[in-house]
Amino acid sequence: MFVFSYSPFESLGKALAQALSYRVGNFQKIHFSNQELHLTVQENVAHQSCILIGSISPPDSNLWDILALVHTLKKESAEKISLILPYLAYSRQEKEEPQQSQLCALVADLLEKAGVDEILTFDIHSPGSKALFPMPLYSLSTEALFVQKLRQLAWDDAQILSPDQGAIERCERLSKQLNNFPIARMKKTRTSQGITQIALEGTLKNRIVILDDILDTGQTLVACCKTLVEKGIQEILIMVTHGLFTGTTWQNLPELAVKRVYCTDTCPIKKEVLALPWIDVLPTQDLLIKFLKKF
The predicted-structure confidence for 177-226, as pLDDT tens digits, reads as follows 998 899 999 887 766 555 555 567 777 888 999 999 999 999 989 999 99
The predicted-structure confidence for 7-45, as pLDDT tens digits, reads as follows 999 999 999 999 999 999 999 999 999 999 999 999 999
H helices present in the chain, as ranges? 10-20, 61-75, 103-114, 127-131, 143-153, 168-177, 219-230, 271-274, 285-294
Domain spans, the chain: 2-140, 143-283
Report which DSSP code applies to 164: S
Pairwise CA distance, residues 293 & 295, whole Å: 6
CATH class (in words) of the domain with range 2-140 = alpha beta
The letter for the amino acid at 14 is K
At residue 58, φ and ψ (nearest 5 deg) are -55, 145
The predicted-structure confidence for 225-266, as pLDDT tens digits, reads as follows 999 999 999 999 999 999 999 999 999 999 999 999 999 999
What pLDDT is recorded for position 190?
64
| CA-wise closest residue to 222 among 153, 172, 163, 293 | 163
| Three-state SS at 81 | strand
| CA-wise closest residue to 54 among 132, 112, 129, 119 | 119
Can the peptide bond before residue 134 be classed as cis, meaning omega within 30 degrees of 0? no
CATH class (in words) of the domain with range 143-283 = alpha beta
The predicted-structure confidence for 100-146, as pLDDT tens digits, reads as follows 999 999 999 999 999 999 999 999 999 999 999 999 999 999 999 99
H helices present in 21-142, as ranges? 61-75, 103-114, 127-131
What pLDDT is recorded for position 191?
63
Region 164-183: mean pLDDT is 90
What pLDDT is recorded for position 187?
80
What pLDDT is recorded for position 194?
59
Region 75-99: mean pLDDT is 97
235-243/258-264 β-pairing: parallel
What pLDDT is recorded for position 13?
97
Pairwise CA distance, residues 52 & 13, whole Å: 8
> Is 2-140's fold the same as 143-283's?
yes
Enter the pTM of the model.
0.94
What pLDDT is recorded for position 164?
84
What pLDDT is recorded for position 24?
98
Give how far Cα 169 sits from Cα of 105, 161, 213, 239, 276, Å.
24, 11, 11, 15, 30
Cβ(72)–Cβ(99) below 8 Å: no
Query: Is pLDDT of 75 > 60?
Result: yes
| CA-wise closest residue to 236 among 154, 159, 149, 148 | 159
Cβ(78)–Cβ(108) below 8 Å: no
Can the peptide bond before residue 283 be classed as cis, meaning omega within 30 degrees of 0? no
Q: How confident is the model at residue 166 (pLDDT cuts 50, 70, 90)?
A: confident
Pairwise CA distance, residues 256 & 75, whole Å: 53
Query: Is pLDDT of 80 > 60?
Result: yes
The predicted-structure confidence for 259-275, as pLDDT tens digits, reads as follows 999 999 999 999 999 99
